[in-house]
């Protein structure tokens, strides 16, 4: 049977969806005054308290929701997240995530969080199993990769962890976005007709960039070729060509194009990016990668990911102190950067800073789970009375 | 050790000593401990989880007390087990009394003082679960309270002439968290205190609860009950830490929480900082030591009357599957389960050696003329979120003031404001009409106020005091933009755009105030108004709350710089600013003024190695570690102090 929501709940829900925390909390209390046994209101309240980082309150409200309706999946999510963000309640957290993973088996976050709760409670094997399960559901789940890397680091050291960190980096979609951001493309995707692109180098390169972002490598190559036919020394076009080769796993060609671009424009960020990424794929070229990424971080210091790339190359050289500085620069620019947080955690672990490492991983989870917005997905499904 | 900063070369104390032998100084008798700042430790009855309630202090305390004395610990808090002592109604167990006696004898033998806590819950020893109590609430049931009074009087009577007993603690916070109303708590405290006073009119009575953490935990405001006693305690609990400043304990806001709670607890009674130590097992030994060092020095630097460590010995937990770590139990001590000292104990000893040099008859801490004001709305319960937002905002304001090196304390709305020159009101949603009247009188009389907009409507007095016309709440923003319109008026402010969620932005127009900075669209962000003899500074957004509710560990640098610059400049102009300048915001300074020399404590809230450069208004002749060593000649107004990770420097500074 589909659970019904009162008008007071709908008001609170609307305010909550719009992020109006105080008003939504007040509306929840008004709804509770009418019916204090409404699981929806308690679940909403749990979510709102979680949004305000008031974990004890979130735990109380979510627990109440679950007591009222043991099938209230959004309340499990809010409860588990509240336990994890609050810290020090790993045993309760394990139980909640375990329950949620059973109720909503395809909820990747539940498995990742379950793994983190296991790890915090020193059950490493169970933790690894949970992250592997998450990767079965979503092979690109970054936090599962990074957690596996950290687990490897704890067991066998940085050399074992590095390949996993690199693999997670390669799967990171924001790295491609960095390239397009360095290229100066707008964040939104624009529809355009290739045939109507102006016969000017700038317009063609812009269009080529848009096509590359849409993974239309042939269309992009045609436009780049037109630019290079007119000016073989166009560094921007060469950098685009390098990137196109990189995306098609043609590392040598990518390297050649990027190097050529840099002979014409030594600080061109797009060329530096592509060259650095190519170098970083070859462990023997780690030193070169670090040099290139130093130049990139100087050329584009406002992008957190340029510092992350630098830090990861420094990890390969075992320059942990410098890597830490670079990771910290990245976190300062973007506190929500999961990749930087986990990298920083890895460095802190090698230095013996366990609590800080643990904190960085918790912060990564904090931002990642906030970004995902799973609560509303579960809430809507629960409201409809169906499966997620 | 201090380094001279000016003149190119930076001689260290050791180098200068090598160059020029120090003059032979008269041998100064240095006490082992500071009786005015005792360091104590909680000595729990059970150290192994497998033990039962009947094993209450069923061990020889002698070796532990000997180790405590050797570590310069002065005070020990012990916990009475009602269950063990009064096995049947009115019948006291001689064996249990003998165990208590053994503790008293051991304390006597090692010159330790005991704080006896009557009603405590350590979640292991079941100290208050008298089987004949029939599960009635020992906090409110009249019959059980009568039995409690008898127990208390029996023990107090037994030791009323015993000099080893330093104070009587009525109950710890875990026990007191069972009270549901202020009235019940105050009644209980009154009755127990009177029972003690009938027998022992001398020794202080205290209630081992923190006014802020207990309020947060239970909604019961214990200030009235605390005021019935002669001593107050402050401590940070694990749930409160998770609420106010979760995160690593060796850097960032977490390193200020102990002193913030201490300042909040400091009213009329001397306050001991209790429960110093980490709350969970996830920290390395070095992190534990760094945290304890920070907390101990924070206590000394912020007018505590002593410090108590969380636990003497690690609790040996059972390795039961599947989960064997329970953070709510008091697990982590200063020696491990075998009794071997952990690095933290060496920190305690070093700290006690420094504290012993700080004779309060010779040195007085520079007075605090600035205060962060906790709004009265903080005591509102849900659905008002003020009770949740305000403590966090106040902590951030406190940190900003500390980063500006302003000697700062914590006051509450309704407190007497006459002793202050500068007040910070961080993001209050509303203030009471009487507070507005107090603020008006305060500023007119020459005080300075910084108020940040907290959302919603504002009182009409804003226009009068702050010289701004309020046009409504502009709502949330995702970017904090600052454009400096009047450079230099409120310090070295810089224009910036920072990615940060702001919950509100007050749309104001200046009606007499000077606009010092605006947002990107020209709407006033920062105004200053001369009102009477004083100044009123208005920040149009709840910046302290925004710092707290975003990521306090990743606050954009320009935002922190803005806040501490405004706080520091306002305090300096009002005569409440720092007496010394320091280039390192994370270095907390405490300046103890003496007749012949001063003592300067510098505490780094940074987990990295660093050097703080101190600038004084007068020429410094020499700087010397308070624990001894040769003085380093400075001969200038600036000198550098190298600080290790979470490091401390305790310097004797002679001016000349």
Separation of alpha carbons B73 and B93, rounded Å: 30
pLDDT tens readout for residues A264-322: 999 999 999 999 999 998 878 989 999 999 999 999 999 999 999 999 999 989 999 99
Q: Do B246 and A87 touch (CB under 8 A)?
A: yes
Task: Name the phi and psi angles at B541, rounded to 5.
Answer: -140, 150
Chain B residues with beta carbon closer than 8 angstroms to that of A25: 382-383, 385
Mutate to test the interface with B, among A54, A88, A98, A125 (most CBs of B within 10 A): A88
Task: Name the phi and psi angles at B124, rounded to 5.
Answer: -135, -50
Separation of alpha carbons A74 and A81, rounded Å: 11
Query: What residues have CB less than 8 Å from A36, skipping those under 6 apart?
Result: none
Separation of alpha carbons A143 and A131, rounded Å: 9
Give pLDDT, residue A180: 94
Q: Do A56 and B287 touch (CB under 8 A)?
A: no
Burial grade of A156 (CB within 10 A; 0-12, 13-18, 19 or more): exposed
Task: Evaluate if residue A29 carries a pLDDT over 70.
Answer: yes
Task: Name the phi and psi angles at B247, rounded to 5.
Answer: 130, -175
Chain A residues with beta carbon closer than 8 angstroms to that of B550: 335
**CATH homologous superfamily, domain A172-277:** Tetratricopeptide repeat domain (1.25.40.10)
Q: What predicted TM-score, i.e. pTM, was given to this entire model?
A: 0.91
CB nearest A29 (choices: B282, B287, B382): B382
- For chain B, give the mean pLDDT: 91
> At which residue do the structure tokens 């009471």 appear?
B432
* The two three-digit tokens of residue A137, written as one number: 């559901």
Question: Domain residue spans in chain A?
Answer: 1-75, 172-277, 282-378
CB nearest B549 (choices: A19, A53, A332): A53
Q: Strand, helix or coil at B219?
A: coil
DSSP string, B306-343: EEEES-SB--B----SS----TTS----SB-TTSPBPH
Chain A residues with beta carbon closer than 8 angstroms to that of B246: 85-87
- Within 10 Å of residue B154's Cβ, how many Cβ atoms? 16
Task: Name the phi and psi angles at B114, rounded to 5.
Answer: -110, 135
Options 1.25.40.10, 3.40.50.720, 3.30.300.30, 3.40.640.10; CATH of A282-378: 1.25.40.10
- Give the CA radius of gyration of chain B: 26
> At which residue do the structure tokens 């009394």 appear?
B97
Give pLDDT, residue B6: 42
Pairing of strands B408-412, B448-452: unpaired
> At which residue do the structure tokens 């719009």 appear?
A18
Interface subset of B 237-256, CB within 8 angstroms of A: 238-239, 242-243, 246-251
CB nearest B242 (choices: A55, A335, A355): A55
Pairing of strands B468-473, B477-484: unpaired
Cα dihedral A299, A303, A309, A310 in deg (nearest 10): 50
Three-class secondary structure assignment of B551-608: CHHHCCHHHHHHHHHHHHHHHHHCCCCCCCEECCCCEEEEEEECCCCEEEEEEECCCC
Separation of alpha carbons B192 and B447, rounded Å: 43
Terminal CA-CA length for chain A: 15
Q: Strand, helix or coil at B470?
A: strand
Separation of alpha carbons B42 and B38, rounded Å: 13
Give pLDDT, residue B322: 43
- H-run or E-run covering A202: helix A201-213
CATH class of residue range A1-75:
mainly alpha
The residues that bridge with B473 in the sheet, in sequence order, are B506
Mean pLDDT across A226-232: 95
Min Cα distance B242 → chain A (Å) is 6
Pairing of strands B370-374, B113-119: unpaired
Separation of alpha carbons B576 and B570, rounded Å: 8
Could you report the average pLDDT of every consecutive run of 10 residues in chain B (656 residues)?
Answer: 42 40 52 88 93 95 96 96 96 96 97 97 89 92 96 96 97 94 97 97 96 95 97 93 88 94 95 91 86 97 96 82 46 89 95 92 94 96 94 98 97 94 97 96 97 94 97 94 97 94 96 97 97 97 96 90 98 93 96 94 94 95 92 95 96 93
Domains belonging to chain B, first-starting first, are 3-29+580-655 (2.60.40.1180), 39-356 (3.20.20.80), 370-573 (3.40.50.880)
* The two three-digit tokens of residue B202, written as one number: 């001398």
Give pLDDT, residue B29: 62
CB nearest B282 (choices: A52, A54, A358): A358
Give pLDDT, residue B165: 97
Interface subset of B 399-458, CB within 8 angstroms of A: 455
Three-class secondary structure assignment of B119-137: ECCCCCCCCCCCHHHCCCC
Q: Strand, helix or coil at B275?
A: strand
- For chain A, give the mean pLDDT: 92
Task: Evaluate if residue A12 carries a pLDDT over 70.
Answer: yes
Nearest CA to B196 out of B86, B80, B98 is that of B80
Distances from the Cα of B479 to the Cα of A305, A371, B506, angstroms: 20, 18, 14
pLDDT tens readout for residues B209-240: 999 999 999 999 999 999 999 999 999 998 89
Task: Evaluate if residue A386 carries a pLDDT over 60.
Answer: no
Task: Name the phi and psi angles at B56, rounded to 5.
Answer: -50, 115
DSSP string, A26-86: HHHHHHHHH-TT-HHHHHHHHHHHHHTT-HHHHHHHHHHHHHH-TT-HHHHHHHHHHHHHH
Separation of alpha carbons B424 and B448, rounded Å: 9
Min Cα distance A281 → chain B (Å) is 31
Do A205 and A223 meet the contact criterion of CB atoms below 8 Å apart? yes
Residues B102, B106, B109: CA angle, nearest 5 degrees: 140
Interface subset of A 293-312, CB within 8 angstroms of B: none
Region for B276 from its dihedrals, namely left if φ exceeds 0, alpha if ψ lies in -120 to 50, beta otherwise: beta
Do A144 and A131 meet the contact criterion of CB atoms below 8 Å apart? yes
Task: Name the phi and psi angles at B430, rounded to 5.
Answer: -155, 155
Separation of alpha carbons B469 and A329, rounded Å: 40
Strand positions, DSSP E, B84-202:
86-88, 91-92, 113-119, 165-172
Do B524 and B518 meet the contact criterion of CB atoms below 8 Å apart? yes
Do A218 and A231 meet the contact criterion of CB atoms below 8 Å apart? no
Do A31 and A38 meet the contact criterion of CB atoms below 8 Å apart? yes
Pairing of strands B448-452, B496-502: unpaired
Task: Name the phi and psi angles at B250, rounded to 5.
Answer: -110, 0
Separation of alpha carbons B56 and B52, rounded Å: 8
Mean pLDDT across A108-131: 92
Chain-centre distance for alpha carbon A190: 24
Separation of alpha carbons B289 and B351, rounded Å: 11
Do B541 and B504 meet the contact criterion of CB atoms below 8 Å apart? yes
Separation of alpha carbons B510 and B486, rounded Å: 14
Chain A residues with beta carbon closer than 8 angstroms to that of B242: 55-56, 86-88
Mean pLDDT across A1-21: 85
- Within 10 Å of residue A233's Cβ, how many Cβ atoms? 12
Separation of alpha carbons A309 and A301, rounded Å: 12
Separation of alpha carbons B611 and B615, rounded Å: 13
- H-run or E-run covering A308: helix A304-316
The residues that bridge with B365 in the sheet, in sequence order, are B592
Burial grade of A113 (CB within 10 A; 0-12, 13-18, 19 or more): buried
CB nearest B242 (choices: A22, A25, A88): A88
């Amino acid at each position: 049977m589909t659970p019904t929501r009162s008008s007071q709940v709908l008001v609170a829900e609307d305010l909550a969806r719009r992020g109006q925390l105080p008003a939504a909390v007040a509306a929840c209390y008004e709804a509770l005054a009418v019916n204090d046994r409404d699981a929806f209101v308690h679940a909403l309240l749990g979510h709102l308290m979680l949004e305000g980082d008031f974990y004890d309150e979130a735990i109380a409200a979510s627990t109440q929701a679950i007591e009222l309706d043991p099938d209230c999946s959004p309340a499990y999510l809010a409860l588990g997240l509240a336990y994890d963000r609050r810290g020090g309640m790993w045993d309760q957290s394990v139980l909640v995530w375990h329950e949620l993973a059973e109720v909503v088996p395809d909820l990747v976050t539940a498995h990742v969080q379950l793994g983190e709760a296991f790890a915090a409670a020193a059950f490493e094997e169970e933790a690894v199993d949970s992250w592997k399960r998450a990767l079965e559901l979503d092979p690109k789940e970054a936090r599962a990769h990074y957690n596996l890397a950290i687990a490897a680091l704890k067991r066998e050291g940085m050399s074992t962890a590095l390949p996993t960190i690199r693999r997670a980096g390669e799967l990171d979609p924001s790295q491609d976005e960095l390239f397009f951001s360095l290229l100066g493309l707008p964040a939104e995707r624009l529809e355009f007709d290739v045939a109507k692109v102006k016969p000017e180098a700038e317009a063609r390169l812009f269009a080529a960039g848009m096509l590359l972002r849409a993974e239309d490598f042939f269309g992009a190559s045609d436009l780049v070729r037109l630019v290079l036919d007119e000016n073989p020394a166009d560094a921007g076009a060469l950098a685009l060509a390098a990137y196109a080769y990189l995306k098609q796993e043609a590392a040598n060609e990518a390297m050649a194009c990027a190097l050529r671009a840099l002979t014409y424009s030594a600080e061109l960020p797009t060329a530096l990016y592509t060259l650095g990424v190519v170098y970083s794929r070859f462990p023997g070229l780690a030193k070169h990668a670090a040099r290139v990424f130093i130049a990139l971080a100087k050329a584009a210091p406002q992008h957190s990911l340029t510092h992350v790339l630098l830090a990861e190359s420094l990890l390969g050289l075992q320059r942990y102190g410098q890597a830490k500085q670079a990771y910290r620069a990245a976190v300062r620019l973007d506190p929500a950067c999961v990749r930087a947080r986990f990298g920083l955690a890895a460095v802190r672990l090698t230095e013996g800073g366990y609590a800080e490492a643990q904190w960085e991983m918790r912060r990564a989870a904090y931002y990642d789970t906030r970004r995902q917005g799973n609560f509303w997905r579960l809430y809507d499904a629960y409201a409809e009375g169906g499966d997620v | 050790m201090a380094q001279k900063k000016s003149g190119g070369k930076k001689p260290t104390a050791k180098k200068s000593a090598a160059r020029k032998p120090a003059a032979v100084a008269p041998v100064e008798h240095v006490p082992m401990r500071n009786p005015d700042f005792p360091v104590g430790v909680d000595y729990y009855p059970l150290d192994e989880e497998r033990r039962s309630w009947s094993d209450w202090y069923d061990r020889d305390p002698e070796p532990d007390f000997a180790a405590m004395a050797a570590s310069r610990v002065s005070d020990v808090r012990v916990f009475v087990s009602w269950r063990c002592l009064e096995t049947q109604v009115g019948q006291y167990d001689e064996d249990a009394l003998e165990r208590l006696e053994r503790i008293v004898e051991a304390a006597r033998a090692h010159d330790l003082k005991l704080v006896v806590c009557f009603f405590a819950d350590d979640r292991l020893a079941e100290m208050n679960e008298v089987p004949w109590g029939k599960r009635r609430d020992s906090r409110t049931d009249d019959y059980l309270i009568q039995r409690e009074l008898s127990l208390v009087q029996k023990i107090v009577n037994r030791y009323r002439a015993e000099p080893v007993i330093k104070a009587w603690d009525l109950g710890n916070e875990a026990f007191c968290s069972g009270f549901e109303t202020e009235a019940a708590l105050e009644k209980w405290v009154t009755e127990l205190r009177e029972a003690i006073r009938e027998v022992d009119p001398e020794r202080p009575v205290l209630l081992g609860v923190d006014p802020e953490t207990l309020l947060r935990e239970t909604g019961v405001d214990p200030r009235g009950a605390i005021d019935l006693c002669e001593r107050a305690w402050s401590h940070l609990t694990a749930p409160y830490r998770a609420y106010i400043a979760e995160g690593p304990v060796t850097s960032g806001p977490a390193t200020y929480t102990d002193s913030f709670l201490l300042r909040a607890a400091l009213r009329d009674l001397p306050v001991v900082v209790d429960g110093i130590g980490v709350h969970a097992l996830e920290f390395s030994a070095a992190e534990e030591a760094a945290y304890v060092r920070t907390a101990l020095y924070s206590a000394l630097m912020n007018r505590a009357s002593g410090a108590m460590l969380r636990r003497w010995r690690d609790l040996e937990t059972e390795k039961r599957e599947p989960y064997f770590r329970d953070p709510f139990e008091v697990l982590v001590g200063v020696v491990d389960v075998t009794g071997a000292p952990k690095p933290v104990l060496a920190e305690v000893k070093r700290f006690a050696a420094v504290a012993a040099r700080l004779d309060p008859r010779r040195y007085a801490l520079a007075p605090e003329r600035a205060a962060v004001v906790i709004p009265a709305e903080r005591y509102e319960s849900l659905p008002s979120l003020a009770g949740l937002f305000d403590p966090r905002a106040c902590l951030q304001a406190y940190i900003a003031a500390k980063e500006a090196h302003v000697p700062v304390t914590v006051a509450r709305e309704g407190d007497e404001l006459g002793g202050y020159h500068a007040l910070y009101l961080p993001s209050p949603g509303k203030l009471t009409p009487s507070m507005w009247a107090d603020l008006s009188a305060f500023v007119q009389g020459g005080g300075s106020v910084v108020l940040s907009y907290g959302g919603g409507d504002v009182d009409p007095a804003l226009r009068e005091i702050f010289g701004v016309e309020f046009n409504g709440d502009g709502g949330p923003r995702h970017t904090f933009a600052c454009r400096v319109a009047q450079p230099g008026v409120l310090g070295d402010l810089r224009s910036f755009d920072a990615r940060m969620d702001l919950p509100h932005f007050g749309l104001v127009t200046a009606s007499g105030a000077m606009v010092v900075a605006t947002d990107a669209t020209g709407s006033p962000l920062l105004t200053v108004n001369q009102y009477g003899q004083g100044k009123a500074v208005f920040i149009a957004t709840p910046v302290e709350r925004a710092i707290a509710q975003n990521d306090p560990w990743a606050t954009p640098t320009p935002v922190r710089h803005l806040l501490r610059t405004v706080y520091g400049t306002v305090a300096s102009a009002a005569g409440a600013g720092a007496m010394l300048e320091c280039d390192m915001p994370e270095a907390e300074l405490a300046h103890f003024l003496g007749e012949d020399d001063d003592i300067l404590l510098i505490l780094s809230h940074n987990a990295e190695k660093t050097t703080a450069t101190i600038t004084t208004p007068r020429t410094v002749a020499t700087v010397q570690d308070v624990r001894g060593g040769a003085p380093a000649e400075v001969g200038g107004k600036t000198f550098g102090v190298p600080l290790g990770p979470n490091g401390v420097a305790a310097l004797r500074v002679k001016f000349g």
